[in-house]
């Protein structure tokens, strides 16, 4: 009878050893891994929020500069047209001045409009 109990004890010891071997992978995964993944997820969400805020800022800046450019170009080209209409009449000298001043103002407005698009290109292309 003693032989059976020693044999059953060894059998039970083998079962516990194999059970322990099966549980090792579960013991290696600790809650800190989940906390790390949550922290990285929070960091990623904060990074996305920062990117969205930067994009909104760039869009607002671009919109503001584009509107200024349209206003300057419209005024400049309108003055150019008015100066062109004055050429060959009583106010010929004033017409020439208006042509030049309006042309410079119109070109400046066009440059402002084109310059406004550089803010749309700044999307924060970072190689990760």
pLDDT band at 128 (very low <50, low <70, confident <90, very high): very low
Residue 49, domain member (yes or no): no
What is the number of structural domains in the chain?
1
More confident residue, 52 or 122: 52
State the pLDDT at residue 30: 57
Helix axes 92-116, 31-86, angle to 10 degrees: 170
State the pLDDT at residue 1: 47
Residue 3, domain member (yes or no): no
If you write DSSP's letter for every residue of the chain in order, what string do you get? Answer: -HHHHHHHHHHHHHHHHHHHHHHHHHHH--HHHHHHHHHHHHHHHHHHHHHHHHHHHHHHHHHHHHHHHHHHHHHHHHHHHHHHHHTTSTTHHHHHHHHHHHHHHHHHHHHHHHHHTHHHH-S-----
In tens, the pLDDT along 22-60 reads 777 666 655 556 677 778 888 899 999 998 898 888 889
In tens, the pLDDT along 57-75 reads 888 989 999 999 999 999 9
Residue 24, domain member (yes or no): no
The residue range of the domain holding 111 is 55-121
Residue 85, domain member (yes or no): yes
Residue 19, domain member (yes or no): no
State the pLDDT at residue 127: 47
CB burial string 39-60: b at 16+ within 10 A, e below: eeeeeeeeeeeeeeeeeeebee
In tens, the pLDDT along 9-23 reads 667 777 777 777 777
- C-alpha 84/C-alpha 77 separation (Å) is 10
Rounded to two decimals, the pTM is: 0.59
Residue 37, domain member (yes or no): no
Residue 81, domain member (yes or no): yes
How many CA atoms within 13 Å lie on the side-chain side of 79?
20
In tens, the pLDDT along 80-121 reads 999 998 888 888 889 899 999 999 999 999 999 998 888 777
Residue 78, domain member (yes or no): yes
């Amino acid at each position: 009878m003693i032989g059976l109990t020693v044999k059953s004890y060894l059998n039970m010891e083998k079962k516990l050893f194999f059970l322990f071997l099966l549980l090792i992978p579960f013991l290696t995964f600790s809650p800190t891994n989940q906390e790390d993944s949550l922290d990285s997820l929070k960091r990623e969400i904060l990074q996305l929020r920062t990117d969205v805020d930067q994009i909104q800022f760039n869009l607002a800046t671009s919109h503001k500069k584009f509107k200024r450019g349209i206003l300057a170009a419209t005024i400049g080209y309108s003055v150019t047209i008015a100066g062109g209409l004055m050429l060959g009449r009583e106010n010929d000298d004033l017409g020439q001045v208006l042509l030049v001043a309006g042309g410079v103002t119109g070109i400046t407005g066009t440059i402002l409009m084109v310059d406004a698009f550089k803010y749309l290109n700044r999307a924060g292309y970072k190689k990760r």
